[in-house]
Amino acid sequence: MKMKQGILNDIERLNVAVLVLGSIAIIFIMRDFWYFFSFVVGSAIMTLNFRFLRRILEGTFSAAEIKKKALAIKLPLKFFALITLVVLVVLYGDIDAVSFLLGLSTPFVSIVLSQVFSAFSSPAERSKENGA
């Protein structure tokens, strides 16, 4: 369980790092606040989505008894809220679609980076992280 917690913590930290570094890169490359704002909104939505999903799953599975009813209600509600938020931003927000989609890909980039870092870390570091 500790190993999985460590991986999830790494992914969450990488989500924030990708948000910050991606925002800086977008503002320097595109030199327009519109692209920056679009990326930040998409990235923030997905970073918060990852965090909420993690909390829901940890709360459900950490209890002595798995609460299937709570999971069956919370997950669809969170998904519906996410879809509603994305639709509202796309319909009513003045955003650049490409920058927004790049922001929405933040968790994917974070997961890939986490696995790359893990693959290239030394065996001693991996065993230390895994509690061995």
Average pLDDT by stretches of 10, the chain with 132 residues: 71 91 92 92 92 83 72 86 91 90 92 87 63 54
Write down the pLDDT at residue 125: 64
**Quick check: pTM over 0.95?**
no
Write down the pLDDT at residue 68: 76
Rounded Cα gap, residues 70 and 58, in angstroms: 12
Burial class (CB in 10 A: 0-12, 13-18, 19+), 12: middle
Query: Which residue bears the tokens 């927000």?
Result: 93
